[in-house]
Amino acid sequence: MVELEKLYCEVPPTKLRHKKEPFRHARTSKFWLWVADRFFYGMLEDRFCAFRYKGYENFLNRDDKYPTIFFAPHSNWWDGIVGYNLCNRLCKKEIRLMIEELNRFPLLRRAGGFSVNKKSPQASMESLKYSVRAMKDLNAILYLFPQGIINPPDHRPIEFQTGLAYIAQKAVKEYGKINLIPVAVNYFFLRDNRPEVWVEMGKSIELTDAKIDRKEYSDYLAKELETLCDNQIKDVSNANFKGYETLFQQKLAWYREFEQNLKKIKNKRKNKENE
């Protein structure tokens, strides 16, 4: 049994292992993307009641002549699956996702994952450099969790390591400009026995000047993401669902349908009594 105190560790797993692990780059193909698309979408449909999203127009309004980075919070195992479906199902782009445990699950590179070893800054540099090279393919989106570790849900403040700023800086030098889009992701129970996935894409942040202070820029991006996430929670808490669209929604279970039918009958009786 896992001790509650050990659920969240501030030290990345590869740093704890402190082993030299081979770097694995993404290796996609049409066949494996077809398999991954159905497999990961099916996983969401099996576990969640619905998938809601907002801010798709912010993705469409980006300057698509330049690379795009999505950056999101990381609180649980599902975040990568959600990111995959966001990129592939909604945005119709391949994902390039940095996965620390890729050497344990190498097949994920077929879906767009690539490895990172955080046992030292030198060891992780290969992944950072690969991230910049991967952005050359405009048919792919680089999807990052800049916090560097898994944090508890709604952990505040959101704090970034400088990896995202490093990648952004090098990418601007290489490509001239990049789009940075914050992505709020949360999981809510809304009148159903299964949770829903809620995703909001923020406005694109364009970076054209490579002369940035990485720490300051990391703090700025972290604040942008934190604000987006806090506003999403506030909207849902106040039942403000304006702008959200649905990727999928499950049919009600039989007992929920029965409950809804009873309510309809009760409302009809009340209306007749009031006439």
pLDDT > 70? residue 250: yes
Given this model, what pLDDT does residue 106 score? 92
The boundaries of the domain holding residue 241 are: 4-274
pLDDT value, residue 218: 98
The pTM assigned to this predicted structure is 0.90
CATH number, position 105: 3.40.1130
Q: pLDDT tens-digit profile of 38-87?
A: 999 999 999 999 999 999 999 999 999 999 999 999 999 999 999 999 99
Position 264 confidence tier, pLDDT thresholds 50, 70, 90: confident
Residue-wise pLDDT for 112-161, tens only, equals 999 999 988 888 999 999 999 999 999 999 999 999 999 999 999 999 99
Tally the domains of the chain.
1
CB 168 within 8 A of CB 180: yes
Distances (CA, A) of 167 to 7, 102, 120, 122, 170: 29, 20, 17, 15, 5
> Residue 20 pLDDT > 90, yes or no?
no
The full DSSP string for the chain is ---GGGSS-SS-HHHHHT-----------HHHHHHHHHHHHHHHHHH-SEEEEE-HHHHHTS-TTS-EEEE----STTHHHHHHHIIIIIS--EEEEEETTTTTSGGGGGGTEEE---SSHHHHHHHHHHHHHHTT-TTEEEEE-TT-S---TT-SS----THHHHHHHHHHHHHS-EEEEEEEEEEE--SSSS-EEEEEE---EEE------HHHHHHHHHHHHHHHHHHHHHHHHTT--TT-EEEEEPPPPHHHHHHHHHHHHHHHHHHHHH-
